[in-house]
Amino acid sequence: MNAAGILTAFAPGDRTLPAMLTRQARRYGARPLVVAGDVSVSFEEAVPLAARFAGTLAAAGIRPGDRVALMCGNRAEFIESFVGCAWLGAIAVPLNTASRGPQLAHFLQNSGARLLIIEAELLDALSHVELDATALERVWLIGDSAPSPQPPEGVTVAPLPPRSDAIAPAAIDPAHTLAILYTSGTTGPSKGVCCPHAQYFWWGLNGIRNLELREGDVLSTCLPLFHTNALGTFHQALLCGATFVAEPRFSASRFWQRLIERQATVTYLLGAMVPILLSKPTSPDERRHTVRCALAPGVPANLHRAFAERTGIALLDGYGSTETNFVIGATAAEHRPGFMGAVRDGFAARVADATGADAKPGDPGELIVRADAKLAFATGYFEMPEKTAEAFRDGWFHTGDRVTRETDGYFRFVDRLKDAIRRRGENISSFEVEQVLLSHPEVGNAAVFPVPSELAEDEVMAAVVRRPGSRLSESALCAFCRPRLAAFAVPRFIEFVDALPTTESGKVQKYKLRDRGVTGHTWDRQAADAKV
C-alpha cells in the first residue's frame, strides 16, 4: 500500500496501533509481518497475539494508562509485549538492555512502571537498583530463570505467564501515549518522551515515502527495538504490507549472510557501522543480497560512493528524533552525500541563530522544527512539565542540534548544542556518567565529554580530579563504572587532572576540555585491554 492509500485507509481517529493491526490483518492475512529469530508472525496472527497478551496483562491487574517496562533484546516477546500493551491501552516503556545502576533506577522511578518484563539473563541489571523505591510490583522473566538477588518485599519475580484469553481492544484515542522512550539527558536526568499512537502512524508513513517502500518489501534491521528507529521500521512494515525482520544485533562478520538469508530489500544502519563494514575484506556476499537501499544517518560523506560501488546499496540520510518524526530526508534520487536532505511534506524547519532569528544560508544555528499534523510529534516529557515547556515552545520543537541550511534548502548536520555524546548509535548523557564517577569515594570532581572516534561519531572521555591523597587508578575507576553504567557509556579515555577549567561562577568549561581532547597523559581503556 502506498502513502496515498494509507492516508485514505486510516482516518485520523483510526491512527492507533490496534486499529492498524486489525485493518492490515484483513488486507494482508498470512503474509509475514514480523520475523525475529526462528519466530514468524503473520499479519492475521498479530491480532490474537496482541489480544491474548493484553488479556494476560489485564489478568495481572494492569489497566489502561499503567506503564509496563520492557527490558528485552530483539526477540518476538518484545513485539508481543509491545502490541499487547497497545491493545490494552497500557503504556510500554522500552528500556535499553545495557542500562544499569542509577540510570535504570531513574527509568523505573520516573515512569512509575508497575510491571517489568525482562530477559532472565538481564536480571542482574537490577542488583544496583533499589526496587523498593519504585512503583514496581511484578517482574516477569523471558527465558530460563537465572540466579538473582532476593527481590525486595512486595516485588514478585516469576516467569512470563501463560497467555490468557483474548480481550477486545481498549477504546484508544490516537493522542493517547503508546510508549515512553527515554532519551539522553543533557543537563539532567534522562527524559521520558511520550510518544502517542498517531506519532508512530506518521513515522511509518513518512518512512514509506522517504525510503520508497513497497508491498512485499523485507525490512531487515539489527538496530534495537527499544529505540525509535526500529519501532518506526515496524510501523513502516505494518502500514505498507512489508515484513519486519529484527536481527539480534549488529555483526560485521554475519551482516551480509543474514541479509541474504532473509531476502531483505531494505536495511537500516548507523554512521559507525558503515566504516566497520568497509574495513572488512571484500566478499562475494556483498553483491549476493537483494537490498536496494539503507537508511544510514550520520555516515561520513566520503564513504557513500565507496559503499555503493562495493555493495550496490544506496545510503540514505535524514533527520528525526524520538520527539519528532522523519522531518528531513531525501529519496535515493534526491540524496546528496553529506546532507540530511530537505524538509519533507507536512513539516517545517528553521535554523535559528543565537538571537532566535533565522540564520543566513550556510551559517550554523539551532535546528527547530514543526509538524502540520498535530500528533506527528511527541506530546512532551513524562512528569517533566518544565522540560516540556522549554523544548516545545512557540509551536516549535527546539532540537538542540546545530545544522546549516543551504540556499537550495538542503540541511547539513554540524554538531550538537546539547551536552550529549553519541557513540556507536547510542545517545549518552554526560550528566549520568558524571554522577556515577562522582559517586566514587575518591573522586572529587569529573567532567565527561565527547572526543572524535576513529570510525565515526564519538568516544567518551572523562577528566577526573581525585581527592587529596588518592591513588585511584584509571582501570580501577573503569571497574567501578562497569556495573553502574551501560557498557557503551563507560569512558574509554580517562585523564586525571589537578582541576577542571571553570567560569567565575564555577561552571565547567567543557569546550576547553573538548578542544584539548586526548593528550599524551590520557589513559586509553581500549589500548589497556589490548595489552591484557
Residue 172 reports pLDDT greater than 90? yes
| Cell numbers standing for residue 436 | 556515577
pLDDT attached to residue 413: 87
What pLDDT is attached to residue 388? Answer: 97
The strand pair at 91-94 and 138-142 is best described as unpaired
Class of domain 45-196: alpha beta
pLDDT band at 183 (very low <50, low <70, confident <90, very high): confident
The pLDDT value recorded for residue 263 is: 98
Q: How many angstroms separate the CA atoms of 195 and 105, rounded?
A: 21
SS3 state of residue 405: strand
317-336 pLDDT per residue, tens: 999 999 999 999 999 999 99
pLDDT of residue 429: 76
Residue range 257-280: average pLDDT? 92
pLDDT at 155: 86
In one letter, which amino acid is 491?
P
CA angle 433, 435, 437 (to 5 degrees): 70
Per the DSSP assignment, residues forming a β-bridge with 67 are 91
Q: Tell me the pLDDT tens digit for each residue of 91-137.
A: 999 999 989 988 899 999 999 999 999 999 999 999 889 888 899 99
For the segment 282-297, the average pLDDT, to the nearest whole number, is 96
Reading across the β-sheet that carries 314-316, which strands appear in turn?
39-42, 32-36, 243-246, 218-221, 266-268, 293-295, 314-316
Architecture of domain 420-531: 2-Layer Sandwich (3.30)
Q: Beta strand pairing status for 266-268 and 293-295? A: parallel
Q: What are phi and psi of 209, to 5 degrees?
A: -65, -50
- Residue 363 burial (10 A CB sphere; 0-12, 13-18, 19+): exposed
Question: Counting Cβ atoms within 10 Å, is residue 519 exposed (0-12), middle (13-18) or buried (19+)?
Answer: exposed
Average pLDDT score over residue span 263-287: 92
Give the 3-state secondary structure percentages of the chain, helix then strand then coil, rounded to 5.
Answer: 35, 25, 40
Q: Is the pLDDT of residue 151 over 80?
A: no
What pLDDT is recorded for position 506?
Answer: 57
Query: Phi then psi for 113, rounded to 5 degrees?
Result: -60, 130
Of the pLDDT bands very low, low, confident and very high (cuts 50, 70, 90), residue 492 is very high
How would residue 286 be classed by pLDDT, with cut points 50, 70 and 90?
Answer: very high
- How far apart CA 214 and CA 453 sit, in angstroms, is 36
d(CA 462, CA 510): 11
The predicted-structure confidence for 401-454, as pLDDT tens digits, reads as follows 889 999 999 999 877 776 668 887 787 878 788 889 988 999 988 999 999 888
In the structure grid, which three cell numbers stand for residue 478, read together?
573503569
Instruction: Over range 221-246, report the average pLDDT.
Output: 97
| Confidence band for 390, pLDDT divided at 50, 70 and 90 | very high
Which of 159, 151, 116, 110 has the alpha carbon at shortest distance from 136?
A: 116
Q: Could you give the CA distance from residue 440 to residue 139 in angstroms, rounded to a whole number?
A: 30
Please, which pLDDT band fits residue 272 given cuts at 50, 70 and 90?
Answer: confident
Which residues are paired to 94 by β-bridges? 70
DSSP bridge pairs for 319? 328
The answer to whether the CB of 411 falls within 8 A of the CB of 349 is yes
**Quick one: pLDDT at residue 282?**
95
Q: Could you tell me whether strands 156-159 and 138-142 are parallel, antiparallel, or unpaired per DSSP bridges? A: parallel
Residue 185 pLDDT = 58
Helix axis angle, 43-59 relative to 76-88, nearest 10°? Answer: 70
Q: Distance between alpha carbon 498 and the CA centroid of its chain, in Å?
A: 36
CA 488 – CA 490 distance, rounded (Å): 6
pLDDT the model gives residue 418: 66
Percent of the chain with pLDDT over 70: 95
User: What is the domain partition of the chain in residue ranges?
Assistant: 45-196, 343-417, 420-531
The pLDDT confidence band at residue 187, using thresholds 50, 70 and 90, is low
pLDDT band at 27 (very low <50, low <70, confident <90, very high): very high
Residue of 31 and 185 predicted with greater confidence:
31
Q: What's the pLDDT at 508?
A: 79
Angle at 513 between CA 508 and CA 516, to 5 degrees: 160
* Average of per-residue pLDDT values in the chain: 92
Please tell me which residue, 482 or 530, carries the higher pLDDT value: 482
Q: In CATH terms, is domain 343-417 a member of 2.40.50.140? A: no
Q: Taking the complete model, does pTM exceed 0.85, yes or no?
A: yes
pLDDT at site 148 = 55
Query: Among 62-76, 216-230, 516-530, whose mean pLDDT is lowest?
Result: 516-530
Per-residue pLDDT band for 351 (boundaries 50, 70, 90) equals very high
Q: What pLDDT is stored for residue 434 in this prediction?
A: 87
- Rounded CA-CA distance 405/418 in Å is 19
The pLDDT-based confidence of 152 (bands split at 50, 70, 90) is low
Instruction: Write the DSSP assignment of 307-345 as a string of letters.
Output: HHHHH--EEE-EE--TTS-S-EE--TTT--TT--BEEPT
Average pLDDT over residues 361-388: 96
Cα(442)–Cα(421) distance, integer angstroms: 25
* pLDDT tops 90 at residue 312: yes
* Whether the predicted pLDDT of 146 surpasses 90: no
